[in-house]
Amino acid sequence: MKIRKIIVYLCVFAAAASIFTRIIYVNKVYPSVKIHNYNIGDTVNTDEYQICLDSVKVYEKAEWENYIDSTQIGRERDSYKADDKDAALKMRYNPDEDYKVIETELLVKNISGERKTAVMGQLCSVNGIMQKMMMNYYYTRRLQPEGKIDSIVRTIEAGETQKWKCYYVVNNTDEELFFEYIKVGQINRISLNLHKS
């Protein structure tokens, strides 16, 4: 009888030790997310980059269309054919409804010590609590400080700082939106405060 109790106690102890070890492992591999809040103009340091959201501008629909009409690039809707099947180029908003355009101007510095390739919109992006927003490829490729670019994949030399403009077009901004750099266990967030009057 004593041997049976000892075996039961040993089994319970082994199970408890196993559960405790697993909890420690999960907490180390998947740490709880820490959110760091920054202001526009602050620098977020990653392992490879320094990222600064230098400025944000929000255009109302009429203001944006007037601006685009004054440029040579044309409105996005006029660039598509009815049978365009390229999903990466399809409009992700309804241009017939009210919309806003969010222009973010970034300073991205490569601090890794070697040449890097970064995808605009994946390195950092505009997100909401409930959704990740898609960068608008049409306007982003055409409205860079150096002019039109062929790809949103950018090569950054060691020590180089590049200025990027990223555009997001949304029909609905009821949700609070943030500019974010995210990695496992850490979110670096800048509130865009689009609803301030």
* Angstrom distance (rounded) from CA 100 to CA 113: 38
- HSE-CB for 168 with a 13 A CA cutoff: 25
Class for domain 33-191, per CATH? mainly beta
pLDDT at site 190: 83
User: Does the pTM exceed 0.85?
Assistant: no
pLDDT at site 134: 86
**Paired strand residues for 127:** 132, 178
**Paired strand residues for 150:** none
- HSE-CB for 191 with a 13 A CA cutoff: 9
Residues whose CB falls within 8 Å of the CB of residue 50, separated by 6 or more in sequence, listed in order: 43, 44, 107, 108, 109, 111
**Tokens describing residue 110:** 């490569």
Q: Exposed, middle or buried by CB within 10 Å (0-12, 13-18, 19+), for 33?
A: exposed
CB 92 within 8 A of CB 136: yes
List the chain domain ranges. 1-30, 33-191
- Mind listing the pLDDT tens digit for each residue in 153-173? 999 999 999 999 999 998 877
pLDDT at site 87: 47
Residues in the chain: 197
Q: Which residue has the higher pLDDT, 52 or 27?
A: 52
Beta-carbon count within 10 A of 121 CB: 20
Residue 22 above 60 pLDDT?
yes
pLDDT at site 94: 83
pLDDT at site 46: 86
Question: Which H or E run includes 15?
Answer: helix 2-29
